[in-house]
């Protein structure tokens, strides 16, 4: 319901914005939900995507999380766009105005896809650089890594499940992080190139691995109680 109210307000804003010069235009709307991002990174990615896609006029009003953009040519609606970044609701909304209805919808979906991809790639790069700096400046204690501990072959205290995915490695790792946190695994949080792992408050250890070359996701939970392990394993899959 909240997202619908946001969308309604955006449509009204677009129709009364300086980008609209003719009536009636065709509106195409694309919405990305349950995303992990912050508004500055989303806005920066949006500006870059719009400019790379041919929008010459890209405007962000001061202190606003909305960006307006337009093609500058002889066709009145080829194209005009409004992008709204709502980090608090984990939502990105893209509205495109065009002369042809199907073009408006396709352009909105394409822009949303590019913005999501750009935002996630930037976030992954920042995390990777931060981890690299920490690794170079801190000497960790000599103990068995959590990932290796969870993945011991033949360990009877580990429950495992697998499923296929069409996500890219960046999107897969992003979903893995959300799944672990939403399932209660938030202590000793860490990750490497293809895995994210953490411990919950009861000492159970969880790991999600993205095997991009095989379009496969592996879920593992290590702990003493088999019933609890299986419940946590199902929760990880459900939240992914």
Residues 120 and 87 grouped into a single domain: yes
The answer to pTM > 0.85 is: no
pLDDT, one tens digit per residue, over 48-62 is 889 888 888 888 877
Does any domain span residue 223?
yes
Contacts (Cβ under 8 Å, ≥6 apart) of 139: none
- Tokens 């709502």 appear where? 86
- Tokens 């984990």 appear where? 90
Residues 156 and 219 grouped into a single domain: yes
Residues 119 and 170 grouped into a single domain: no
Residues 72 and 178 grouped into a single domain: no
Residues 159 and 107 grouped into a single domain: no
Helix (H) or strand (E) holding 79: strand 78-86
Instruction: Give, rounded to a whole angstrom, the gap between the first and last alpha carbons of the chain.
Output: 23
Residues 121 and 160 grouped into a single domain: no
Does any domain span residue 95?
yes
Number of domains in the chain: 2
Peptide bond between residue 24 and the one before it cis (omega within 30 degrees of 0): yes
Residues 99 and 163 grouped into a single domain: no
Last residue of a domain, one of 73, 96, 125: 125
Does any domain span residue 52?
yes
Does any domain span residue 135?
no
Does any domain span residue 213?
yes
pLDDT, one tens digit per residue, over 92-117 is 999 998 888 888 888 898 898 888 87
CATH number at residue 184: 3.30.310.50
Does any domain span residue 133?
no
Residues 77 and 169 grouped into a single domain: no
Residues 150 and 71 grouped into a single domain: no
Query: Using an 8 Å Cβ cutoff, are 29 and 108 in contact?
Result: yes
Closest alpha carbon to 52 in 111, 94, 102, 5: 111
Residues 42 and 110 grouped into a single domain: yes
What confidence tier does 134 reach under pLDDT thresholds 50, 70, 90? very low
Residues spanned by the domain of 216: 146-239
pLDDT, one tens digit per residue, over 62-96 is 778 899 988 866 555 567 899 998 888 888 999 99
Last residue of a domain, one of 125, 155, 185: 125
Residues 31 and 99 grouped into a single domain: yes
Residues 8 and 116 grouped into a single domain: yes
């Amino acid at each position: 319901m909240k997202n619908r109210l946001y969308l309604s307000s955006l449509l009204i804003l677009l129709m009364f914005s300086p980008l609209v010069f003719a009536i009636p235009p065709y509106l195409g709307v694309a919405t990305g939900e349950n995303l992990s991002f912050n508004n500055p990174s989303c806005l920066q990615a949006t500006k870059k995507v719009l400019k790379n896609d041919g929008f010459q006029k890209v405007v962000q009003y001061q202190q606003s999380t909305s960006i307006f953009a337009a093609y500058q040519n002889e066709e009145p609606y080829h194209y005009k766009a409004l992008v709204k970044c709502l980090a608090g609701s984990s939502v990105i909304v893209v509205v495109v105005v065009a002369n042809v209805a199907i073009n408006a919808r396709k352009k909105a979906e394409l822009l949303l896809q590019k913005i999501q991809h750009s935002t996630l790639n930037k976030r992954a790069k920042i995390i990777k650089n931060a981890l690299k700096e920490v690794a170079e400046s801190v000497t960790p204690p000599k103990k068995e890594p959590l990932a290796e501990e969870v993945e011991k072959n033949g360990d009877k205290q580990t429950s495992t499940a697998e499923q296929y995915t069409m996500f890219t490695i960046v999107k897969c790792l992003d979903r893995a992080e959300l799944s672990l946190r939403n399932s209660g695994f938030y202590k000793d949080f860490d990750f490497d190139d293809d895995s994210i792992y953490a411990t919950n408050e009861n000492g159970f250890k969880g790991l999600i691995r993205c095997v991009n070359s095989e379009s496969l996701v592996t879920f593992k939970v290590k702990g003493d109680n088999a019933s609890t392990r299986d419940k946590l394993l199902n929760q990880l899959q459900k939240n992914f």
